[in-house]
Amino acid sequence: MSMNGGPTVIDSKLRDEICRFGRSLFERGLTPGSSGNISVRLDGGGWLVTPTNASLGFLDPDRITRLDAQGSVLSGDAPTKEVPLHAALYQTRSAARSVVHLHSTHSVAVSMLPEVDPRAVLPPMTPYYLMRCGRTALVPYYRPGDPTVANAIKGLAGKYSSVLLANHGPVVAGDTLEAAVFATEELEETARLYLLLRGLNPRYLSPEQEQDLAKAFKLSFPDHSH
């Protein structure tokens, strides 16, 4: 905020970017109705977050909620009920500057399959999945808005930037809003590929190819060996 209490240029720009990305996600069917939410962490310790019961396709930048570092509302509409989910990722991933949560169809579908490994829900199908998402963890089902979901996220110890909430949808952190959106889209496309190829014995990237990517792009993947 500026000295007179009004929004700063950066604040206004971030609000506009949230609206722009939200509309793009909505118009491409990646989160229907009033589902999904987006947040951006601010330099002063607070954050901007989309309001409760707001469609990502029709956001008003002036009504986006501004929270202080303790999560109290400073301005805008009432925030999404998923604030504890976002807060847990920010607390455990210090580099995260944005969090995107969607109800994207294929990601939700994969979160309901019995065979997925909670430590690596999707196999290493493409290099860009590994580059943008790393590995994806699955956390058990929680009622939407249940504050105890934060404990499940904190239990991952900040090792994952992409998480699937069982029977609910993906939540992804990024070092910018754009990075978080792109990673969420990559996760959804990889989930779609997995469903298309399920049962066809596809060829995944080998451990050697994963190691090559990690070395070339300075990636770090959580261990999911038994």
pLDDT in tens, the chain (226 residues): 443 444 678 899 999 999 999 999 999 999 999 999 999 999 988 999 999 999 999 999 999 999 999 899 999 999 999 999 999 999 999 999 999 999 999 999 999 999 999 999 999 999 999 999 999 999 999 999 899 999 999 999 999 999 999 999 999 999 999 999 999 999 999 999 999 999 999 999 999 999 999 999 999 998 765 4
pLDDT the model gives residue 9: 80
pLDDT the model gives residue 1: 46
Assess whether 128 carries a catalytic annotation.
yes
Q: Phi then psi for 50, rounded to 5 degrees?
A: -70, 150
Closest to 130 (Cα-Cα) out of 190, 40, 65? 190
Task: Select which of 90, 128, 129, 194 is catalytic.
Answer: 128
Are the CB atoms for 15 and 64 separated by under 8 Å? yes
pLDDT the model gives residue 5: 43
CATH class of 9-217: alpha beta
Kindly provide the b/e burial profile for residues 108-144, where b requires at least 16 CB atoms within 10 angstroms of the residue's own CB.
bebbeeeebeebbbbbbbeeebbebbbbbbbbeebee
pLDDT the model gives residue 51: 98
